[in-house]
Structure 1
Amino acid sequence: MQLLGIHHVSALTASAERNYQFYTDVIGLRLVKKSVNQDAPDMYHLFYADEIGRPGTDLTFFEMLGIGQTYRGNNSISLTGLRVANDQALAYWVERFNHYDVKHQGIEQQLGRAVVFFDDPEGQRLMLVSDQHNQGIEAGIPWEKGNVPQEYGITGLGPVRLTVPELVPTERVLVNVMGFKHVSSYPAYQDGQPDVEVYQTGAGGTGGEVHIEVRTDLPRERPGRGSVHHVAFRVKDKKTLNQWFERVKGERMPNSGIVDRYYFQALYFREPNGILYELSTDEPGFAVDESVDQLGETLALPPFLEDRRAEIEATIKPLNTKKRSRG
């Protein structure tokens, strides 16, 4: 029942069109699925990933028109990592960010790795991390037709940071319920705050880390555009997910039960500091209803929404997601 690493991270955007332009044109990810929020199908759900949408490479966004800004704070998923192959790739990204006026902090060191902190246009907090000295969970493969040269492209999701007012409640769930192991720590970026504690799952490394930042000086975050809704972790298949459901239920943690998301099966639950976790199966993946060559080009709906296609297409604003040339 060991978790296999990070599966995906889902965040909020106020504009699917501007979000698509940034994450494909500037960041070079591939849109592998253009769909809708299955619980509220009047809004887009966009999935960006590597060449074929491998589990562990998937950054997704729900479009919420008119959503306000994020007021950053506690009880939040406060940073999403993105992996690149090596330190040379980070040098490329610094130049690219300067060219596109992307707010960033230059190359820094964290846990012996080179990293670059940056924000997307809506204030999404992100970090590029070099895998030059990394061992552990295998990375994905950037799309060769993307807007970034393949050797510098994003290879998957990296460490996820949680910001909470107390360590123990979150640590207990990660370690005692979910099987994470404490592996390291590093000094906080704010004076007077506790060290950031590092936990890993699966084969470890950048693709399986959660960093817990304790902040005693912040109010609770008020989510908005650019904030993260949940982080999902990988399980092999539905049989294993059912075992996890029994464990979560046995811990008396409020949960969703098993939810069929068509591209994967999911289980949602919230830990005491308010962080929403999802456990998601690796199967069947994004090619279940589209060819790999045409992923993300048309509006994809799961079978249980297909009879509402006309209604949905009349409600959401058209979004042209045909392949773009390299820029």
Structure 2
Amino acid sequence: MTRTSSHPIKLGGVHHAAYRCKDARETVQWYERVLGMEYVSAFSEDHVPSTGEYDPYMHVFLDAGNDNVLAFFELPNQKDMGRDENTPVWVQHLAFRVADEDALLAAKEHVESEGIEVLGPTHHGIFKSIYFFDPNGHRVELAADIGTDEQYAELKRVAMPMLEEWSETKKAPRHADWLHQANK
């Protein structure tokens, strides 16, 4: 693999991640109320700038913290929103970091107070998380890092061997079983 330091493209982070929504106003209000995100801007056009095709849309942007932006498109002339039925519902999700386990538990209490069903906390070895759905059916995860520097270093060390073994066998490599030992 190419070393990042010698790669000709130097990324400066994620500019924004964009998803579809059913209703732009409802989505903005939900993310403000439930996750405390600030609605920062919007674009609305009748023609798609990159293709020129006629397809009116509202594109809204929310501040997710640390210069991260979450965006949504409302597309009233398209077929109703669906999801990839060939992908399990737990796979595609938006994951946001919270400060610590106390913040995670406080977030769970707040989200549940909004009448939203919450799964978790789930222990992932180096982080704990909760899961719930936004009004568009997108799965949202809040995660609190709990790992040590040594654990993160070990995960980085075994990343390539795990990828290689997975590529050959399509079975879960056991290089990081230690992650879940503390949870038992």
What TM-score do you get using the length of structure 2 for normalisation? 0.72
User: Which digits, 9 at most, give the CA deviation of each residue in 1:161-211, with x for residues without a partner?
Assistant: 1202222332222111111111111235253423201111324x3xx1111
- Is 1:303 matched with 2:164? no
Provide the C-alpha distance between the structure 1 equivalents of 2:144 and 2:124, rounded to a whole number of angstroms. 10
Superposition pairs of residues 67-146 of structure 1, within 5 angstroms: 145-146=3-4
Aligned length: 160
Secondary structure of residue in 1 paired with 2:115: coil
Residue 59 (structure 2) aligned to one of 169, 193, 196: 196
Would you say the 8 A contact 1:287–1:295 is kept in 2?
no
Percentage of matched positions with identical amino acids: 18
Residue 96 (structure 2) aligned to one of 226, 233, 240: 233
- Is 1:182 matched with 2:43? no
Provide the C-alpha distance between the structure 1 equivalents of 2:132 and 2:100, rounded to a whole number of angstroms. 18
Residue in structure 2 matched with residue 172 of structure 1 by the alignment: 29
Ranges in structure 1 where 5+ consecutive residues have no aligned partner = 1-24, 29-144, 308-327
Secondary structure of residue in 2 paired with 1:249: helix
Flag as ranges the 4+ runs of structure 1 deviating above 6 A: none
Would you say the 8 A contact 2:21–2:73 is kept in 1?
yes
Provide the C-alpha distance between the structure 2 equivalents of 1:292 and 1:153, rounded to a whole number of angstroms. 24
Superposition pairs of residues 1-327 of structure 1, within 5 angstroms: 25=1, 145-146=3-4, 149-150=6-7, 152-188=9-45, 189=48, 191-203=54-66, 205=67, 208-216=68-76, 217-219=78-80, 220-224=82-86, 229-284=92-147, 287-288=150-151, 290-291=153-154, 294-296=157-159, 297-298=161-162, 299-301=175-177, 302-304=179-181
**Deviation of the 1:151 alpha carbon:** 6.1
Secondary structure of residue in 2 paired with 1:259: strand
What TM-score do you get using the length of structure 1 for normalisation? 0.43
- RMSD of aligned Cα (Å): 3.0
Would you say the 8 A contact 2:127–2:144 is kept in 1?
yes
Secondary structure of residue in 2 paired with 1:213: strand
Higher RCO structure (Cα 8 Å, ≥6 apart): 1
